[in-house]
Structure 1
Amino acid sequence: MAHKIEIENIGRILMGQSGETLLESLWRHGYQLRVGCRNGVCEICEVRLINGEIIQHYPEKHLKLNKKINQMTEVVLACTCRPLSDVRVKIEGLKCPGELLVKKLQCDITAIEKLNSDVYRVRLQLPVTASMSAEFYAGQYLDLILPNGKQASFSIGSAPDQGRNLELHIRHVPSGEMSNNIIQYLQSASTVEVEIPKGDCYLQAHKISSDTRLIFAAASTGFAQVKSVVEHLLANQFSNPIYIYWGARVEDDIYLGNLPLQWAAEHTNVHFERVVSESENSPNWTGRIGLLPEAILDDFENFDNVEIFASGSPAMVYALLEACEEKGFKEEHMHSDVFAYAPRSK
Structure 2
Amino acid sequence: MTAESRRIRLDDRGLEVEALPGETLLEALEREGLRMRRSCRNGVCEICEISLLQGQLQQRYPQRLLDGDPCKPSLALACTSVPLTDISVKIKGLKLPGEVAVKKLNCDIASVEVLNRDVYRVRLHLPATASQAMTFHAGQYLDICLPNGRKASFSIASAPDQGRDVELHIRLMPDSEMSRAVLDYLQQNERVDIEAPKGGCWLDARSVTPGSRLVFAAASTGFSQIKSMVEHLLANQVMNPIRIYWGARNAQDLYHLALPEQWAREHANVHFVPVVSEPELCPDWIGRFGTLPQAILEDLDHFEDTHIYASGSPAMVYALLDACEAHGMQESQLHSDVFAYAPRPAKQ
TM over 0.5: yes
SS of 2:110's partner is: strand
| Residue 169 (structure 1) aligns with | 169
Structure 1 residues 181-190 or 246-255, which shifts more?
181-190
Question: Offset at 1:284?
Answer: 2.6
> Structure 2: which amino acid aligns with 1:247?
G
Matched residues in 2 for 1:211 and 1:80: separation?
A: 39
Q: Aligned to 1:50, which of 39, 49, 53?
A: 53
Question: Offset at 1:50?
Answer: 1.9
Q: Percent identity of the aligned residues? A: 54
Matched residues in 1 for 2:235 and 2:83: separation?
A: 47
> Structure 2: which amino acid aligns with 1:125?
H
Cα contact 1:157–1:169 (8 A) shared by 2: yes
| 2:237 is aligned with 1:260 | no
Matched residues in 1 for 2:242 and 2:7: separation?
A: 45
Matched residues in 1 for 2:201 and 2:317: separation?
A: 13
Cα contact 1:49–1:73 (8 A) shared by 2: no
| Residue 305 (structure 1) aligns with | 305
> Structure 2: which amino acid aligns with 1:246?
W
Superposition map of 1:97-108 within 5 A: 97-108=97-108
Show structure 1 runs of 5+ residues with no match: none
Matched residues in 1 for 2:11 and 2:211: separation?
A: 39
Structure 1 residues 72-81 or 321-330, which shifts more?
72-81
> Structure 2: which amino acid aligns with 1:232?
H
Question: Offset at 1:323?
Answer: 1.2
**Pair 267,343 (structure 1): closer, same or farther in 2 beyond 3 Å:** same
**Pair 64,208 (structure 1): closer, same or farther in 2 beyond 3 Å:** closer
Matched residues in 1 for 2:83 and 2:235: separation?
A: 47
Matched residues in 2 for 1:230 and 1:205: separation?
A: 10
| Residue 179 (structure 2) aligns with | 179
SS of 1:320's partner is: helix
SS of 1:161's partner is: coil
| Residue 314 (structure 2) aligns with | 314
Question: Offset at 1:241?
Answer: 1.5
| Residue 238 (structure 2) aligns with | 238
Superposition map of 1:154-233 within 5 A: 154-233=154-233
| Residue 11 (structure 1) aligns with | 15
Question: Offset at 1:222?
Answer: 0.4
Structure 1 residues 170-179 or 313-322, which shifts more?
170-179
Matched residues in 2 for 1:316 and 1:241: separation?
A: 23
**Pair 330,83 (structure 1): closer, same or farther in 2 beyond 3 Å:** closer
SS of 1:340's partner is: helix
**Pair 273,3 (structure 1): closer, same or farther in 2 beyond 3 Å:** closer
SS of 1:211's partner is: coil
Report how many aligned residue pairs link the two structures: 341
| 2:72 is aligned with 1:73 | yes
CA RMSD of aligned residues (A): 3.5
Matched residues in 2 for 1:27 and 1:327: separation?
A: 41
Structure 1 residues 73-82 or 300-309, which shifts more?
73-82
Matched residues in 2 for 1:250 and 1:109: separation?
A: 30
SS of 1:316's partner is: helix
**Pair 13,271 (structure 1): closer, same or farther in 2 beyond 3 Å:** closer
Question: Offset at 1:82?
Answer: 6.0
TM-score by length of 1: 0.84
Cα contact 2:156–2:225 (8 A) shared by 1: yes
Matched residues in 2 for 1:252 and 1:101: separation?
A: 37
| Residue 271 (structure 1) aligns with | 271
| Residue 147 (structure 2) aligns with | 147
| Residue 132 (structure 1) aligns with | 132
> Structure 1: which amino acid aligns with 2:258?
N
Matched residues in 2 for 1:19 and 1:236: separation?
A: 33
Cα contact 1:201–1:335 (8 A) shared by 2: yes
Show structure 2 runs of 5+ residues with no match: none
> Structure 2: which amino acid aligns with 1:194?
I
| Residue 291 (structure 1) aligns with | 291
Matched residues in 2 for 1:64 and 1:45: separation?
A: 16
Question: Offset at 1:322?
Answer: 1.2
Cα contact 1:54–1:81 (8 A) shared by 2: no
Matched residues in 1 for 2:280 and 2:191: separation?
A: 42
Question: Offset at 1:338?
Answer: 0.9
TM-score by length of 2: 0.84
Cα contact 1:157–1:226 (8 A) shared by 2: yes
Matched residues in 1 for 2:194 and 2:76: separation?
A: 29
Matched residues in 2 for 1:325 and 1:259: separation?
A: 30
> Structure 1: which amino acid aligns with 2:72?
T
Structure 1 residues 45-54 or 243-252, which shifts more?
45-54
Question: Offset at 1:300?
Answer: 1.9
**Pair 209,15 (structure 1): closer, same or farther in 2 beyond 3 Å:** closer
